[in-house]
Structures are given as C-alpha cells and as structure tokens.
Amino acid sequence: MANGTANGTGNSDAVLRVNDLKISFKTYAGEVQAVRGASFDLRQGETLAIVGESGSGKSVAARSIMRLNPEANTIVRGGEILFDGDDLLKLPEKRMQRIRGPKIAMVFQDPMTSLDPTMRVGRQITESLKKHLGLSGRRATERAVELLKMVGIPNAEERVKQYPHQFSGGMRQRVVIAIALSCEPEVLIADEPTTALDVTIQAQILGLMRDLQERIGTSIILITHDLGVVASVADRVAVMYSGKVVETGTVREIFYQPKMPYTWGLLASIPLLTADSSLELIPIPGSPPDALDPPKGCPFTARCQYAMKVCSEEMPAYTSFSSEHEAACWLQHDMAPKVEPPARIGGR
Amino acid sequence: MTAQSPNGDPNGSPGEDQNGRASDAPVLLEIKDLKKHFRVGRESLKAVDGISLEIKRGETFGLVGESGCGKSTAGRVLVRLYEPSGGSIVYNGEDISYVKGDEAKVLNRKLQMIFQDPQASLNPRMTVGDIIAEGIDIHNLAEDRKGRLDRVHELLKTVGLSEEHANRFPHEFSGGQRQRIGVARALAVDPEFIVADEPVSALDVSIQAQVINLLKKLQREKNLTYLFISHDLSVVKYISDRVGVMYLGVMVEKTVSDKLYDDPLHPYTQALLSAVPVPDPDVEHERERIVLEGDVPSPVNPPSGCRFRTRCPHVMDVCAEIVPEMREIKPDHFTACHLYYDARAEQRESQTATAG
C-alpha cells in the first residue's frame, strides 16, 4: 500500500521516473537495504533536490539511475527507472553506454577523484565529444575550449593543456561540470556538487549550474544534505530517510508547510544565520536505523517524539496535501492526534 | 522565528549570561602578532601571518574563514602542536610561546583539542576506555585502576554515552558518537581551554545539533573557554561570543558575534555572509548575492598591501600599496580595511611631522 504511491498523481511531463526502487548490497555482515522502495519523478527543466542524511540512500538511488553501483554486490530487489520509454534497470549495458554521458550525466562530490590526474583536462573533455558526438580531434578541442569558457574558466586556450592538479578545487568542479554538460544531456545528476567547496566558491558553482540549466534546458537532480543549498536552487524536494522517500513537495511546501516529523526535525536542527543564537538548537535524538535490519514500520519511529503504537508496526501510506505535496506519516490518519510542528518552522 | 525546547529541558534556559559573563571575565589567552610559516622548498608558506586576539575566561571565540586561510594552523599553534614562527601566546599571564618539556606537559593538561575527523583522530586499535584514559595515565590523575575506570565511566556519561561503551572500539560507533568520544578524551584531564577544530563539520545536521548543544552545556557547567574553528558561519554564530574572520593568514575583522552578523564591515566578511545559503526559499530568491570572482591567491606569494584586494569589489589604488591596519571602527568592532580610514593621508601627516 505504501509502495510506489509517491507522486502517484502522475505527471506526463516527467523526463525520468523512479518507481518503487529497491536496492540492496551484499556485505559480509548481511544484506544492506540501502534503498527500500523510493519513488520520485523529474520534470522537464526543473531542479529536484533529494535531501537526507548520510546513509539515507540518496546517493545509491541516484547512482542506480546511471547504473554505477558496483555490479558484483548490488542486488536490485525491485522497481523501475523509466527514461525515454525504457526501464534503465533492464537495459543491456551496450545501450546503457549510449545513455550514460550524452543523455544522463553526473557530477560527483569530489572533483579531484572524478578527474584523471594523469590526463590533460582537454582530453578528458574531448573524450565524450569524440565518442558520443563523433567530433573530429580538432573540432572537439575547439569545443572543449568553448566549454571551459562557458563554465567561466579564464584563459581557456592554455588551460585545456593543463593537468587537474594545476586547477583549484572550484576550477576542477567547473571542469567536471563542463564534461558533464559537453553533450547537452537531458538529465544532470549532481551528487553533493558543492559540499567539498568553500561557500564563496559554492555560490559561484550554484550560480553557474542555474545559468547553464536556463541555457541548455537540462533537468537536474541535486543530491545534498544542505538545506540552504536546497532553498536556493531547488524547485521541488524529496526528503529521504532510511531508504524511503518520506515527503515530497515544492520547495515552499517543504520549508513552510512540512508535514513529516523528520522534516520538522531537519529544519529545526540547523543553526540559522538569522536566528537568535541564545536559543538552543533542537537536535533529533538518537541516530538513523541500521540498514542491515531496518524496522518494519515507519523508519523514523524510534527518533520521533510523536510516535504511536501503529508507527512501529506498519509503514504509513502517502497522504496528499496538494498536487505536489505528499508525506508518509501516521499523524495524517483521521484517528491520529492533531500535532503542531515546532514553532521555529513553517509559519508562512 | 523562535525556537522552543520541545522536551522542556530544565538546563535549557540557554545562554542566559552569554555576553554578560564573558565581558567581566579576565583574559585567559592573548595572542599577539602570531605567525606560523612553513618551508616549501626554498620558499616559505605564510599559513598564519600575524594574527592577534584575546579570549576571556568562559568565552567562546569563533575563528572563521575558508580553506587555506590559516585558521586550523592558528589553532594548532595555540595548543603547541606547532611551534610559532613569530609573535607571542600569553596564557593566564604566562608567556607559553616557546615552552618545552615538563612545562609543556603541564600546559597540555590545561589546553586540549577536539579534531574534525572523529574517524581519523581515534586510534582504531584501542578501546574507547583506553583512548579516553590516555591523558589520565600520562598525567597520573587516577590513584588506582578503579579510580581510572570510574573516571572513564563518568566522562562517558558526561558526553551522553554509557558505561558499557568503554570496552568497545571506535569503529563500532557512529560519527556523532565518535565525536562525543573525542570530547570525552579532551575533558579527561580537566582542561580549562579547548581548541575545537571543525568539531561538527563531518556530522549530519541532526547530529551536529546534538554535539553543539553538548559543547554549550559543558561550557556552562565547567566554565570552559573555547576557540571554535569552523568554515560554517551559521554554526560559529550559534556558539561564539566573539568572532574573528581570517583570510589568507591574516585577521580581517574581529568583533562580538551579533555585530559581525548584523553589520559586517570588511568586504570579505560581507561576501562570505552573503554566500551562505539560508534555508528559506523566499529569502533566497530575493537575496542579492555578492559573488566573489576568482580563487584565493597562494599563501606563498600573497598579494601586496591588502591580501583581499585581488577579489575585492571595492578595491582602490591604495590597497596594493599599504597593508591596512586592524582598527576599531565602531565600538568593539575591529576591521583592517582601507574603506574605513585614509592611510595615505596619515602617512603624509606623519612624514610632515617628522620632517617638521
């Protein structure tokens, strides 16, 4: 009942749809259930932020779209990822190679490890241009220079001949973005793209991503734990916890009318620049459940101050609050007590 | 927006004397023109190039800045993990800049440090009990084995862990719990002063708040003094009484926490504050951001004059010629910037004065 109903309203303009995705990993300790039935869709030209803490399954879900999880120990327990009429989970690897890069591209957190330190930056950009767009060597190099200019790297003609270690962290991330956007993909998955960067550089990169999205029309899935970044760039938000999407909505709905106590907790525990610092932060007590043995009911039960008996027994269904806004919480049931979110959040 | 403690925490009358207490307290630590240069081949990397600050007993001084600005090096020089290259550190009236041997050991009891990465700062082959008790052993603070164990148990409880955790190993804990172990280890020798270097940066937000609240509670109970180093301006605001902003090895602005955030004077502080994304979509969409161009220059060859001039939106000719002095521009609000005083005119005046 609870499965696969997120975004059940069905939006025809979705470029990518993830339905009830279940991904596990084999480990010596047992089966780690990283994603346990996550559903979300990505619409044309929008930025969807997937937020959650470490271990919530947000990166695994994103990497499943690209089929980048280690093949040897990944088990697909169910679900589908629909893109261009195909289920990416079932596509043969040969066809997947024609999607990975030109159609769906990815930017990772650490720009040092996603670039080859022994290869000139130019060659790393032209690689996909030659392979996927069939450009000649000279034409590809010209295009690489254009791309570096587009992502704001000064002196691009010289820079294409340099190695990654000659670039600063922010510059490297610009190069990674240039590579990702080189074939003008329909979907860009950015996994914590600014987490390793300083705030002033982060502001540059987020601004760059916004400009490029307007120019190329790429739809973006942004994976982050930083709610400030979410507020600044996302159109819609999916909140993940323990492998499940527990709430989705527009960015304003999630920040101003959140419905799920986990979302409340996330919002109340961040220190704000604008808040009075003499007030205590409200942490979420405890820590997330063990993915080796996830709880049967709502995964947030053990940390939830409003938990009821039913919460630990059965996963709640999604309740819709608007065409976009859904949350999975037993508090929304008719028989549940009416609970107000903490005073610090919402209120608009 | 107001926050309420949902559990009605009795200790939660937060920060009641946050500023009041700090302002009457005596100065515990004073740094003057502190420098730390590292040799890189034939050149020298000026990681910290002359910073001065005072920290009063029971106060938290927040040191903020981006990576490479020298904030962590400054913290490490303070606890004497590095020898300073110049300047002085006066602790409780005593110059500790170059102490060695037994004197340094005595000092180690008073000055402790909490590190950023709780995974890397705990020895994976030692039990948590032994990690916490290391300082107790070194300084002979326990009379016997039972006394040592009691102290470990007490410390574990202080930081919100339980007694049975003493026999486990670091890998059995989550990031937040490991950071609590790091705090317990620092507290084991009853320090007066703790340098906390990015103590919550590796943690998730919900866990981050647990550790921040713990640090605040311990400060209230034990009258601890903190130097809190972080790149996260929101966290620093939350915990600090006073804040110093560093850029490329120098301090550019220094004042009480609220003044810095309400009325930043230095263009770098202004840009830094405007770059922090606020978790509020409406505010974010209306905000005008000061986006700085380019990257931080190399600390091996810092720019002449003001070090921020290569990225400063208000740069003037004088900025390349004269190093701006740290001055009190508003009451208790210091900044080093040519926008706030006429360095050239003063130079001319002093020249005519000496000439005449």
pLDDT, tens only, B275-325: 999 899 999 888 888 888 877 888 899 999 999 999 999 999 999 999 999
Contact list, B5 vs chain A (CB under 8 Å): 280, 282
DSSP string, B157-213: HHTT--GGGGGS-GGGS-HHHHHHHHHHHHHTT--SEEEEESTTTTS-HHHHHHHHH
Q: Which of A273, A278, A279 sits opposite B233 (nearest CB)?
A: A273
Is B151 a residue whose pLDDT tops 60?
Answer: yes
Does B4 or A39 have the greater pLDDT score?
A: A39
pLDDT, tens only, A113-159: 889 999 999 999 999 899 999 999 999 999 999 999 888 888 899 99
Tokens of A60: 């695994």
Is B11 a residue whose pLDDT tops 60?
Answer: no
Contact list, A235 vs chain B (CB under 8 Å): none
Contact list, B289 vs chain A (CB under 8 Å): 203, 207
Other Cβ atoms within 10 Å of B346 Cβ, number: 12
Question: What global pTM score does this model have?
Answer: 0.85
ipTM for this model: 0.82
Rounded to the nearest angstrom, the gap between the alpha carbon of residue B185 and the centroid of all alpha carbons in its chain is: 19
Give the per-residue pLDDT at A9.
43
Q: Which of B204, B213, B237 sits opposite A54 (nearest CB)?
A: B204
Give the per-residue pLDDT at B20.
41
| Separation between Cα atoms, residue A257 and residue A251, nearest integer Å | 10
Q: Is A344 in Cβ contact with B3 (below 8 Å)?
A: yes
Is B22 a residue whose pLDDT tops 50?
Answer: no
Contacts of residue B75, Cβ cutoff 8 Å, sequence gap at least 6? B63, B113, B195, B197, B227, B229
pLDDT band for A2, please (50, 70, 90 cuts): very low
| Separation between Cα atoms, residue A324 and residue A247, nearest integer Å | 10
The residue of chain A nearest to residue B12, with distances taken between CA atoms, is A280
| Separation between Cα atoms, residue A301 and residue A329, nearest integer Å | 10
| Separation between Cα atoms, residue B296 and residue A129, nearest integer Å | 32
Q: Which of B3, B175, B272 sits opposite A279 (nearest CB)?
A: B3
Contact present, B297 and B307 (Cβ < 8 Å): yes
Is A211 a residue whose pLDDT tops 60?
Answer: yes
Q: Beta partners for A238?
A: A50, A248
Closest CA to B273 of B288, B256, B251: B288
Q: Is B212 in Cβ contact with A271 (below 8 Å)?
A: yes
Q: Is B292 in Cβ contact with A273 (below 8 Å)?
A: no
pLDDT, tens only, A76-89: 999 999 999 999 99
CA-based nearest distance A23→chain B, Å: 23
Q: Beta partners for B195?
A: B113, B227
Helix (H) or strand (E) holding B253: strand B250-256
Give the per-residue pLDDT at B9.
40
Q: Is B206 in Cβ contact with A269 (below 8 Å)?
A: yes
Is A185 a residue whose pLDDT tops 70?
Answer: yes
What value does the mean pLDDT of chain A take? 90
Is B4 a residue whose pLDDT tops 60?
Answer: no
Contact present, A139 and A147 (Cβ < 8 Å): no
pLDDT band for B55, please (50, 70, 90 cuts): very high
Is A60 a residue whose pLDDT tops 90?
Answer: yes
